[in-house]
Chains A and B, each alone.
Chain A
Amino acid sequence: MMPFEKISSRAVWLPEDNIDTDVIYPARFLLIMDREGLGRYLFHDRRFDAHGNPIPGFPLDAPGAEGAKVLVAGDGFGCGSSREQAVWTLLGHGFRVIIAPGFGDIFAANCLKNGLLPLTVSRELATELGEAAAAGSVFEADLETMQVTVDGREVIRIDLGEKQRQAMLNGWDETDILLREDGDHIDAFEAGHRQRQPWLFHTET
């Protein structure tokens, strides 16, 4: 994945709750088999009408939103379908941090596999940060100091396990890590599991 370097940018506020992954990345674009270049489909049907013309008023397209790397969202952001395209399209658009009162579990897991940082905060703080975003404040996020600041003031202490922090800072691929660090554990477990529950190892179609 892409290493997470310290970011500094304005933020976009999308206060609506339950923004599902179908809204983030409509299903018909799942026929595309790439993971790069998906940024243009982000919130597509909220931003473009049936003829491809821009729909005015969506926060992502507001003046000052261009170049934003931080999204402040409502509760339940990324609920619904497991499609990882929801993460790839956010990254493709340039986002690196999503702040919300809550996330879809699968979406949050997908974020961490790709270097997109999901930060859970209270609803009150999310609203406060959203207002700061709308007012044009500068957000900074740093995995070295584990801080998010707004206009220089610490607003979030990032809570991320050390393994995950290292993986994000270095852009490590999880499969590589597992095979390197956990390969022996997998072999040992699998051998025992085969003895304990042998029926799981007999499949025939």
Chain B
Amino acid sequence: MAGRTLYDKIWNSHVARDYGDGSALIYADRHLLHEVSTPQSFLAIEVKGHAVRRPDANLAVPDHSVPTRDRGSEIADPQARAQTARLAENVARHAIPFIPLSDARQGIVHVMGPEQGFTLPGMTLVCGDSHTSTHGAFGALAFGIGASECGIVMATQCLRQKKSKTMRVRIVGERGGWLSAKDIALALISEIGANGASGHAIEYAGPVVEAMTMAERMTLCNMAIETGARVGMVAPDGTTYAYLENRPMAPKGAMWDLALAHWKTLASDPEADFDRDMEFDVTGLAPYVTWGTSPEDALPITARVPDPAWASDASKRTRQTGALSYMGLEPGTPLIETPIDKVFIGSCTNGRLEDLRAAARVLKGRKVADGVELIIVPGSGLVRAQAEAEKLDRIFLEAGAEWRYAGCSLCVAMNGDRVAPGERCASTSNRNFEGRQGPGGRTHLMSPQMAAAAAVTGRLTDVRDLQELSS
């Protein structure tokens, strides 16, 4: 008998009904809600008179449109205020557990969920946000859904799903000490392409992944969606269990032992077949940055802006030409000569304590370059508190950065934080799409270390050079 993959095992244990055509009714164990993708979902079920089937399987928090500058009594923007208020009203009406803006645990859904132990191995978890793939870092089957599906899950606890193909990405080689999970994620996306893994569930494996912390695994799985894969996952192991034990919502006592025994059966069988299997060697990899308007437009920081004339086909050439025009870049220019105006450190990709520590190591004793604005937005209130306990906030403030409250902030630019037209931003977020950080804004994706280095020099910078300069 052929072995089963991690994905197969979780899928199989959640089939409420097999339709026999490659699709099934999949039971969703957990649903995370935020203010932006759910107003229409609640309307859809209420107009039909459907109840929320299991309120306790849901957890709601405002994150996308909330201000991060201050936590005053009222949100200034009337639309954002109304949306955040609507979430509170909706969840109250259906008795859904809720973490309000004033709560210390408030944060980005994909930072808060794992932090609280809401995310567990072997479970199915959905959320109206494409970066739900983040939770796959725990060996969960987690994926983003639309507003209609949010309503369906609330009413039925299930979704009709077509089974994905499976793809294993074995990450191997010697990882340089300064090479972050973000660099690996960007390098992988440039290799696979923005749609290269469409229709697939990715399992990240291999020695480099096994040695990663949970924060690093979350960064990696977070960006699976940027290859087109709805799902990115890592088999749970000792690192996973150590992270989860004693988290507020994780099982306790005898229930923990029972869960742990099950979790240890989840890893892909050695003889399991994947529809695709690739190996990715990180030996000698330089830090990565993006130059264009798709996360696949990523290159080592040591490279030059590409020339569309060299693109492999006409459609790529057209897209690259458009991207360079939008980004205001000239082919052949070394990437490190690109000046920047803003720096954003945060998001569900890189807004965790380890990310802030990495940025602080670069910023310690340095100053943000003249004319550059650096904002640092922790992924949750707890991350903020931990960073302050470690006095990271002092390092940031002394460097001239703004130290913010938790939220999605400049990753999606819905809360008043914006990159102005023509401005260039070094950003630790996940998408460099046109207008993503504000209409006409130009985004370069990179790791927290690299973003901090860019803030210090005022241009895209190889963080390794900066470290040599200071030593």
Are B16 and A185 in contact, with the CB atoms below 8 A?
yes
Residues of A within 8 A of B194 (CB): 18, 76, 79
Number of A residues whose C-beta is below 8 Å from B? 64
**Interface membership of chain B positions 240-282, coded 1 if the CB is closer than 8 angstroms to chain A and 0 otherwise:** 0000000011010001101100100000000000000000000
Residues of B within 8 A of A110 (CB): 146, 148-149
Q: Knowing A79-B228, A193-B27 are in contact, say whether A200-B120 is a contact too (CB < 8 A).
A: yes
Q: Knowing A15-B315, A175-B152 are in contact, say whether A186-B27 is a contact too (CB < 8 A).
A: yes
A83 to B294, CA, bound (A): 17
* B129 on the A face (CB < 8 A): yes
**Interface membership of chain B positions 138-175, coded 1 if the CB is closer than 8 angstroms to chain A and 0 otherwise:** 00000111111101100111101000000000000000
* B23 on the A face (CB < 8 A): yes
Residues of B within 8 A of A75 (CB): 195, 315
Return the chain A residue nearest B252 by Cβ.
A202
Q: Of B79, B80, B195, B251, which is within 8 A of A76 by CB?
A: B195
A31 to B296, CA, bound (A): 28
* B412 on the A face (CB < 8 A): yes
Residues of B within 8 A of A15 (CB): 315, 318
Residues of B within 8 A of A76 (CB): 194-195, 198, 228
Q: Of A179, A193, A204, which is within 8 A of B155 by CB?
A: A179
Binding site for B on A (CB under 8 A): 15-18, 20, 22-23, 26-28, 30-35, 45, 50, 74-76, 79-84, 87, 102-106, 109-110, 113-114, 123, 161, 163, 173-176, 178-179, 182-183, 185-186, 188-190, 193, 196-205
* B130 on the A face (CB < 8 A): yes
Are A109 and B130 in contact, with the CB atoms below 8 A?
no
Ranked nearest first, the 7 interchain pairs of A and B with the lowest CB-CB distance are A189-B16, A31-B79, A110-B146, A84-B146, A199-B251, A76-B195, A113-B148
Residues of B within 8 A of A123 (CB): 315
Q: Knowing A174-B152, A204-B249 are in contact, say whether A182-B25 is a contact too (CB < 8 A).
A: yes
* B394 on the A face (CB < 8 A): no
**Beta-carbon contacts under 8 Å, B424-438 to A:** 431, 433-436
Q: Of B50, B120, B258, B439, which is within 8 A of A198 by CB?
A: B258
Are B36 and A30 in contact, with the CB atoms below 8 A?
yes
Residues of B within 8 A of A205 (CB): 59, 97, 99, 116, 248-249
Are B27 and A189 in contact, with the CB atoms below 8 A?
yes
